[in-house]
Amino acid sequence: MRRTKIVATIGPACDDHETLVRMIDAGMDVARLNFSHGTPQEKAETAARLRTAADRAGRQVAVLQDLPGPKLRIGPLRDGVAELKPSDRVVFACGTEETGDARHMTVAWPGLAEAVEPDDVFYLADGTVRLRVEDVRDREIEAVVELGGAVASRQGLNIPGELASLPSVQEEDLEMLRFGESIGVDMVALSFVRRAADIEAVRQHTRVPLIAKIEKPQAVDNAEAITHSADCLMVARGDLGIELRIEEVPLVQKSVIALAGALARPVITATQMLDSMVTSSRPTRAEVTDVANAILDGTDALMLSQETAVGAHPVETVAMMASIAETTERALPYEEWNERRVRRLERSDQDPAYTVAYNACAAARQLELAALVIPTLSGRSARIISAHRPQVPILALSPGKETVRRCSLMWGVQAARMRRHEVTEELIADATRRVVELGWVQPGDRVGVTAGLPSGRPGTTSLFQVQHV
């Protein structure tokens, strides 16, 4: 059984029913909808197709809404693309969205002209095009091209450093958030988080789990506070590699993965993991090694972006990612992680769920249990046990279909629905029956079961039993 989860971005290359079914069969656990592209209606139709495809494939697939966040983007370009050459001069008009070209582009945020000054550097096209500011006047910025290349409509514009006046939560994002809830997304990724307050500002508007994307230097500096506030992290290496010196990105990736594990938060490693498969049927050896190293570091999930959204081989890319994960997981240091990976006492009141999780994983190893069975209302117990990386399957059962789908992002967790119980003894008995019904364990196996007193309340995990099923 593969334990590392796969997040795949849905785009024109795979946004049809048959391809989605094949991607799910190949190993897609979470489908990412990038709200920086396309219309809300298109996203609603994609979400509906995903639900239908998941039902046909007989698997739970979570839908991840990725919000644009406070990212600067250029406006539309004539013919969709412009070629910038060294020494070219480009004027950026701020606060408008007119169609531009290689000499005149627009940026929607009107405050940009006040936030920069001469000699500041801009990056376009994922950092491949570099411009330097020469003059700033009323809502206009004149820049000269230092490194040229092709720029496409609505691509991101990066300015290293912090633009303090750039709003952390934009009204457009909140509108997209409300729309995402209306179509039933299971989790939301927040772009360009800089501090924990950015997450809390969004949390006031939703109960959907929030993923903090680590892609700004300020987020790296505030990583621990952000991790406490977020439900999940994403190492978004694309913009991170522009905002930081590129040679620092591997060390940031390792430190963020370790921090997420220490605080029992799922973490996604993203961007260019199998980038050559956008056009090629096979990845490079370096890409395979990159994926394997992220798994060995302890990532919960791996993300595919343009590889599946616009690539020539979306199904094969998911299958390749799954194959690399299954092979790499044979070498994972399960016992070491069980002992050391999670800070046992995350909170000052010594939450018993962490102690139960630690001992459940130790018992699974020492007693050679077939599985750990986790009845859960919110998914929290499954998340904490997942963070300890037990070598046996983690079987989560919940009455909530949203909780079941959200478990799709948690390392090593299989999830299904069961009815709600008010009595703990009945909960344990029904949970053991249910995992046999699902074919997850065999009659006569020994499993460990977590539960809480009183039953039926989230956050009360306090006991662990060993049961014959």
- What's residue 348's pLDDT? 46
Q: pTM for the complete prediction?
A: 0.90
């459940």: which residue's tokens? Answer: 360
SS3 192: coil
DSSP conformational letter for 344:
S
Looking at this protein, which amino acid is placed at residue 265?
Answer: R
Enumerate the active-site residues.
32, 73, 213, 271
| Higher local confidence (pLDDT), 169 or 466 | 466
Residue showing tokens 């993300």: 303
What pLDDT is recorded for position 453?
74
H or E segment to which residue 9 belongs:
strand 5-9
Q: What pLDDT sits at residue 183?
A: 97
335 to 128, 191, 359, 366, 430: CA distances (angstroms): 43, 35, 12, 11, 30
CA distance linking residue 356 with residue 370, whole number of Å? 18
Q: What is the mean pLDDT of residues 251-261?
A: 97
| pLDDT higher than threshold 80 for residue 395 | yes
What confidence score (pLDDT) does residue 207 get? Answer: 94
pLDDT at 359: 92
Same domain, 365 and 382: yes
- Highest average pLDDT, of 105-109, 121-125, 333-337, 371-375, comes from 371-375
The answer to whether the beta carbons of residues 83 and 119 sit under 8 Å apart is no
Separation in Å, CA 291 to CA 29, 54, 320, 387: 17, 25, 10, 19
**151 versus 166: which is more confidently predicted?**
151
Residue 282: count other Cβ atoms within 10 Å of its Cβ. Answer: 13
462 lies in the same domain as 344 = yes
Say yes or no to pLDDT of 375 above 90: yes
The pLDDT value given to residue 456:
67
- Size (the chain), residues: 469
**Which of 78-82, 238-242, 305-309, 459-463 has the least mean pLDDT?**
459-463
Q: How far is CA 448 from CA 135, 354, 468, in A?
A: 67, 15, 9
Binning pLDDT at 50, 70 and 90, where does residue 352 land? Answer: confident
- What is the model's pLDDT at position 164? 61
Alpha-carbon gap, residue 197 to 289, rounded angstroms: 36
CB-CB neighbours of 336 under 10 Å: 10
Token pair for residue 280? 């090629």
Q: Is residue 359 part of a domain?
A: yes
Backbone angles phi, psi at 433, to 5 degrees: -65, -40
Do 261 and 364 sit in the same domain of this protein? no
Residue 143 in domain: yes
Which domain CATH number covers 25? 3.20.20.60
Query: Final residue of a domain: which of 329, 346, 381?
Result: 329
Give percent of the chain above pLDDT 90: 78
Query: Is residue 163 domain-resident?
Result: no
Q: How far does Cα 30 stand from its chain's mean position? A: 9
Residue 457 has pLDDT above 80, yes or no: no
Do 336 and 37 touch, CB atoms closer than 8 A? no
Q: How far is CA 88 from the centre of its chain?
A: 38
Strand partners, 397: 375, 416
pLDDT of 242: 85
CATH of the domain at 415: 3.40.1380.20
Q: How far apart are the first and last CA of the chain?
A: 21
End-of-domain residue from the set 135, 158, 181:
158
From the CB of residue 99, how many other CB atoms can be counted at a distance below 10 Å?
A: 13
* Residue where one domain finishes, among candidates 95, 127, 158: 158
Q: What is the pLDDT of residues 418-437, one digit of tens each?
A: 998 877 889 999 999 999 99
Residue 401, helix vs strand vs coil? helix
Percent of the chain with pLDDT over 70: 96
What rounded mean pLDDT belongs to the chain? 92
Using DSSP bridges, classify how beta strands 140-147 and 62-66 pair: parallel, antiparallel or unpaired.
unpaired
Helix, strand, coil share (%) of the chain residues, nearest 5: 40, 25, 35
Residue 269: give the domain boundaries. 5-69+168-329
CA 200 to chain centre: 18
**pLDDT at residue 344, as a whole number:** 54
Question: Residue 461: how many CA atoms within 13 Å on its side-chain side?
Answer: 29
Residue 340 pLDDT > 70, yes or no? Answer: yes
User: What is the number of structural domains in the chain?
Assistant: 3
Asked if pLDDT for residue 349 goes beyond 70, the answer is: no
In a domain, 394, yes or no: yes
- DSSP-derived pairing of the beta strands 446-452 and 413-417: unpaired
